[in-house]
Amino acid sequence: MFRVLFYHPEIPPNTGNAIRLAANTGCELHLVEPLGFTLEDKQLRRAGLDYHDLARVRVHADLAAAWHALLPAKVYAFSAKATRLYTDVAYEPGDVLLFGPESAGLPDDVQHSAEITDRVRLPMVPTSRSLNLANTAAITIYEAWRQNGFGRPPG
């Protein structure tokens, strides 16, 4: 399945929602420290409800540790600055979907690092700055999953 990578997530309910999303879609959720919360945070646990034990969540000390665990793989960095739409990608199981922190998005050095296959974006009206992190991850995961038949065997 797909692997979601949150780089320095800051808001506990967003990560809690992503835990629930991972449990319901079979995705892995990878978090790169520092986190803006602890995994025992009450808001994170409330947002994830009882899905914590059903989701595969892994925390990495830094981005280098995440790359070590996830590569080789195609890595799609999500950025409001990207020109390619997320729907223009042919996703494959094992792909990594990389999202930045809620307050600032992915730093330029991460977006342009050698590990990145491509930068993509979700369309928004011109006056919008960004979408909610958990919502962006959900939209993207379901598009990738849809492209791959929602896990059903071909035919």
Widest distance between CA atoms in the chain: 44
**Which are the contacts of 125, defined by CB distance < 8 A and separation ≥ 6?**
none
Alpha-carbon distance of 116 to 114, in angstroms, equals 6
Give how far the C-alpha of residue 38 lies from the chain's centroid of Cα atoms, to the nearest Å: 18
Query: Binding site for S-adenosyl-L-methionine: which residues?
Result: 100, 122, 130
How many residues can be counted in the chain?
155
Query: Binding site: which residues?
Result: 100, 122, 130
3 within 8 A of 73, measured Cβ to Cβ: yes
Distances (CA, A) of 140 to 36, 37, 109, 114: 23, 24, 22, 22
